[in-house]
Structure 1
């Protein structure tokens, strides 16, 4: 069933979004539904035909898209993240890559009976992991920071190395029987590293100066970087084959670690662009496969997949982590996680087409074998990595904690109530007196400005999933909600309201910058502080069928302001001016409760009477020994 080009493009775009949304809902890397959808749209039902759709632009377009994706990943790599683990990263992308290449090559040559040249090429293709699959997997697995950082660095740095190894193997295949073929291939390898690294570094330094000196208007910054990355990728490839990926990776890493250069807006743009490119690429590349090629895969192909997972990866990690600070639990998880991604898929398609045109026997099996490894590693590791991380006790806790801006009395009271109910809290403040008081109350603390460079490096957000702006300084609350919006998600950012007057409306912060309004439009910092000073307390109340939420709100003799609701699955919901949870029987309410004056006086009298009775009883007990002596 062949559709018009416009319909095919629309289907790819809409289905790509659907796959990304589904992956987000079920907490799996999006590559799995994307690949399966591509197989269904292409070889299974014939709805999409990438070759007819894009023609000669297909493979060049794929190459450019991969360069943008790799550059975006490289821009997230900062050297201070891997301090102490530098040698491990170096070994993973050098000795580890060579071990994986060797094991896979021998397996493919022996079990699949591929020619040695093709086996070398296949081994080089599946050396790479890649940010397209590593980053989504890390989001769902949430391993400890050491494992997470190593996997991210390895996945990005090894992509261009794997691509160059594939070029080396390709040259060996096409130059088989010619004198000096091995030396020529080695020369190409080092040439690609030098050319790509040199161009990438020079381009990064040039971009950094343009951005640092503000020579480019704000609205053109992302466009400048995008066009430069595409230009350098094509230039480097023209000078030395596949050195373009080295160039864009080097540019991303140098730019990310250049001091005085703000790249947050560029990175945000590139992240959104990468998500769209990845989604379309996986569907298009999977749709290019032929059912006949897939049906030719035998049980021996699955045996190669098992060797890749259970032999090649563990050996690679074992050799790379010798003498490192990682414990055996972290090494075990590292040895299990290595899903293959878009670079393997794209390069296999590129070289398979070239080899087929050159009449190389067995070249048609390169793409289906690579996709088998991609689908197999992603499916297996997506389903097992999180349980394994929990079993090994190297998974970070679920993000149920709170980052609270401010360590003032209001923030400490709310923080203490949350922590008593097993919701971890970290309060931040630049006032040492407030931080010391918070520590005395047993709260987690960070002494400093939450939007400072120091906070970027040292503020531990592990386990934190929500932000509460409780500072009396509304500017600090606003800056914090803007800074951590991407980190926590817009739905998890909250701040206190400010008092409004007609004169101050034009000075009000826009709603999209301050997050949801905590507790209600009248619950300003001054109002909360006043209620607490008047004796109001934060209490936990359980709702039942007989005592529902309406009864809780309308209990005689007291005033209540609900702050949080804890549902039957121990999930916490925040009461805001924009949305109110609907608590049910079995839920708990954390609310600010203020007893009426008459009731408070009665309680005070009762406490005084009880104290007087206790004193009298103690005096009577003190007299009893004397009476016993007289007797």
Structure 2
């Protein structure tokens, strides 16, 4: 029997990874494929019985998984970023949550005749969206920057808020069902909030100081953090039942906002762990679905879905956007996109198990009702949001931006040249000193490894259509090109040569079977560009061609004194000079090049 369980667990993980890969490949939220995998393995074939597989450990597994997922999400909530958000986002995570919660609860009460406490619990559960479903959808929809930023931040911040709200409602249900007075209920709420805030803040502060003072070796950071999160969660629940989720969320926020505490490696580890937990958890939860309960919901579930999609969400957005600079088409698109994700699924299962065990009538319908909303919102919005964004005129046009791997001198110079030409550039580097230098020069940056789970979930690729790998590390350039060619297309990834590439024989170059284009010219390398910029005084400069000064005249004028990088058409289309492609810019085009004498270039270009 042990071997059978081990094989089932291994099969769940393997199937989950296939689902994650397929979702990345087709640019859809992974929970769609995880959901179908769980349904096929569970109610459809009967191969996976989650209750028999985990037994009494099912509830602790769900609880700990949700705790780790919420802790990982809270590590991304930095106050300085939240303070810079627009008024719309702040309203959506406060008034918007309240509107969604109350309308959904009222609709559930009306249609299913749920007791008010249970209806309020369902409203709290379905008030969350989440970055695991929002980010893949944004990459497909490509809405305007304002819409994308609002949805991304709403998804990150609203998870712990919605989860905490659900915990408070659940505590109210338990206190009410035991016949306790209102005063005792309020006292329980106060204890939950007090213990969550105090224990979470204290544990975050103490652990942050341990990390800051290097009292813990680096190889133990990840394991120690995981162990502490699990222990603090369990301790908090022991002191006050169901306070653990709030505690680990506060702990994560506290750590995220402490100065001189490096969390990058911890965050990367927690993100990988969260992906694994989400993968396993969603398949396990989907396998527990009972089709008979789905049928028992009947047509009424459609009414709940429609009330969420066409009433609570639009009203929430309209209230939140009052007085803002958002256009009406942007508000309409925001009102359409709000898919529910893994946190809603996990929390519903978490509370349903406990309420069913307590004999609470109607609790058995929480899970199928929540999954109905998840399926409905993800399927409908994934399939229609891009079309609606185009019809509303708030979809980004063909992506013209550039993702630059590296924030070194070469990448910064090229990035500034592209930015001055009107193109969005985003520089990615794991060297904080280089990132700081790029930010001082007014360039948009991302601090971290370009190929990582953190980058996949947090890198803002809206409007980005081309990759320029400009790192001195050839292996990183190659890895980045291979990673992003699926996202951007094989014809949109470029890499600079390393000096060692020139020494490679033609036979070896052919055997290497590059899947990217080589930037700027056969003799151009990262080292040669860095030397020209750093020692020889070359600069990036733009020159507009004319009938009297065409590209042939440009080449004759500069000869070896210029390295053409890009050519921009009068309509804003940009072409990249590469080893494989010979460009013939016409009069009216602008050449962005690295030139030896910028002032001389300027006088000639304007002639």
Shared fold by TM > 0.5? yes
Instruction: State the Cα distance separating 1:228 from its structure 2 match.
Output: 1.9
Q: Could you say which residue in structure 2 is the equivalent of 1:347? A: 347
Q: Give the conservation status (yes or no) of the 8 Å contact 1:130–1:343.
A: yes
2:320 corresponds to 1:320: yes
- Say if 1:442 and 1:136 are closer, same or farther in 2 by CA, change over 3 A: closer
Query: SS at 2:402's partner residue?
Result: strand
Query: SS at 1:258's partner residue?
Result: coil
Q: Give the conservation status (yes or no) of the 8 Å contact 1:43–1:291.
A: yes
2:423 corresponds to 1:429: no
Instruction: State the Cα distance separating 1:46 from its structure 2 match.
Output: 0.4
- Say if 1:322 and 1:190 are closer, same or farther in 2 by CA, change over 3 A: farther
Q: TM-score, normalised on structure 1?
A: 0.70
2:386 corresponds to 1:382: no
Q: Could you say which residue in structure 1 is the equivalent of 2:598? A: none
2:309 corresponds to 1:309: yes
Alpha-carbon distance between aligned partners in 2 of 1:501 and 1:25, rounded to the nearest angstrom: 34
Q: Could you say which residue in structure 2 is the equivalent of 1:209? A: 209
2:449 corresponds to 1:455: no
Query: SS at 1:428's partner residue?
Result: helix
Alpha-carbon distance between aligned partners in 2 of 1:355 and 1:438, rounded to the nearest angstrom: 58
2:136 corresponds to 1:136: yes
Alpha-carbon distance between aligned partners in 2 of 1:199 and 1:520, rounded to the nearest angstrom: 59
* Aligned length in residues: 515
- Say if 1:375 and 1:500 are closer, same or farther in 2 by CA, change over 3 A: closer
Q: Could you say which residue in structure 2 is the equivalent of 1:120? A: 120
Q: Could you say which residue in structure 2 is the equivalent of 1:496? A: 497
- Say if 1:34 and 1:74 are closer, same or farther in 2 by CA, change over 3 A: same
Instruction: State the Cα distance separating 1:222 from its structure 2 match.
Output: 1.7
Instruction: State the Cα distance separating 1:281 from its structure 2 match.
Output: 0.7
2:460 corresponds to 1:478: no
Q: Could you say which residue in structure 1 is the equivalent of 2:81? A: 81
Instruction: State the Cα distance separating 1:122 from its structure 2 match.
Output: 1.7
Instruction: State the Cα distance separating 1:372 from its structure 2 match.
Output: 0.6
Alpha-carbon distance between aligned partners in 1 of 2:527 and 2:290, rounded to the nearest angstrom: 68
Q: Give the conservation status (yes or no) of the 8 Å contact 1:467–1:488.
A: no
Q: Could you say which residue in structure 2 is the equivalent of 1:229? A: 229
- Say if 1:153 and 1:524 are closer, same or farther in 2 by CA, change over 3 A: closer
- Say if 1:145 and 1:47 are closer, same or farther in 2 by CA, change over 3 A: same
Instruction: State the Cα distance separating 1:30 from its structure 2 match.
Output: 0.5
- Say if 1:358 and 1:331 are closer, same or farther in 2 by CA, change over 3 A: same
Query: SS at 2:241's partner residue?
Result: coil
Q: Give the conservation status (yes or no) of the 8 Å contact 2:74–2:160.
A: no
Alpha-carbon distance between aligned partners in 1 of 2:84 and 2:98, rounded to the nearest angstrom: 23
Structure with greater Cα Rg: 1
Q: Could you say which residue in structure 1 is the equivalent of 2:257? A: 257
Q: Give the conservation status (yes or no) of the 8 Å contact 2:425–2:444.
A: no
Query: SS at 1:296's partner residue?
Result: helix
Query: SS at 2:499's partner residue?
Result: coil
Q: Over residues 496-539 of structure 1, what are the superposed CA-to-partner deviations in whole Å (9 max), with x where a residue is unaligned?
A: 3126999xxxxxxxx9xxx9975798643577899xx9xxxx9x
Alpha-carbon distance between aligned partners in 2 of 1:485 and 1:56, rounded to the nearest angstrom: 44
Alpha-carbon distance between aligned partners in 1 of 2:347 and 2:526, rounded to the nearest angstrom: 57
Instruction: State the Cα distance separating 1:98 from its structure 2 match.
Output: 1.9
2:92 corresponds to 1:92: yes
- Say if 1:5 and 1:125 are closer, same or farther in 2 by CA, change over 3 A: same
- Say if 1:259 and 1:21 are closer, same or farther in 2 by CA, change over 3 A: same
Alpha-carbon distance between aligned partners in 2 of 1:526 and 1:353, rounded to the nearest angstrom: 61
Q: Could you say which residue in structure 2 is the equivalent of 1:169? A: 169
Q: Could you say which residue in structure 1 is the equivalent of 2:593? A: none
- Say if 1:161 and 1:185 are closer, same or farther in 2 by CA, change over 3 A: farther
Q: Could you say which residue in structure 1 is the equivalent of 2:373? A: 373
- Say if 1:73 and 1:358 are closer, same or farther in 2 by CA, change over 3 A: closer
Instruction: State the Cα distance separating 1:82 from its structure 2 match.
Output: 4.0
- Say if 1:81 and 1:384 are closer, same or farther in 2 by CA, change over 3 A: farther
Alpha-carbon distance between aligned partners in 1 of 2:6 and 2:407, rounded to the nearest angstrom: 54
Q: Could you say which residue in structure 2 is the equivalent of 1:245? A: 245
Alpha-carbon distance between aligned partners in 1 of 2:413 and 2:350, rounded to the nearest angstrom: 54
Q: Over residues 398-457 of structure 1, what are the superposed CA-to-partner deviations in whole Å (9 max), with x where a residue is unaligned?
A: 55543566999xx7xxxxxxxxxxxxxxx6239xxx96x888878778999852266299
Alpha-carbon distance between aligned partners in 2 of 1:402 and 1:222, rounded to the nearest angstrom: 33
Instruction: State the Cα distance separating 1:368 from its structure 2 match.
Output: 0.8
Alpha-carbon distance between aligned partners in 2 of 1:261 and 1:272, rounded to the nearest angstrom: 20
Q: Give the conservation status (yes or no) of the 8 Å contact 1:66–1:342.
A: no
Instruction: State the Cα distance separating 1:19 from its structure 2 match.
Output: 0.9
Alpha-carbon distance between aligned partners in 1 of 2:435 and 2:472, rounded to the nearest angstrom: 10
Q: Could you say which residue in structure 2 is the equivalent of 1:61? A: 61
Q: Give the conservation status (yes or no) of the 8 Å contact 1:496–1:525.
A: yes
Alpha-carbon distance between aligned partners in 2 of 1:173 and 1:353, rounded to the nearest angstrom: 14
- Say if 1:150 and 1:591 are closer, same or farther in 2 by CA, change over 3 A: same
Unmatched runs of 5 consecutive residues or more in structure 1: 412-426, 471-476, 503-510, 539-560, 565-569, 582-587, 593-631
Instruction: State the Cα distance separating 1:108 from its structure 2 match.
Output: 1.0
Instruction: State the Cα distance separating 1:177 from its structure 2 match.
Output: 7.1
Instruction: State the Cα distance separating 1:342 from its structure 2 match.
Output: 1.9
Alpha-carbon distance between aligned partners in 2 of 1:228 and 1:378, rounded to the nearest angstrom: 34
Unmatched runs of 5 consecutive residues or more in structure 2: 446-461, 486-492, 504-511, 533-537, 544-562, 567-572, 586-607
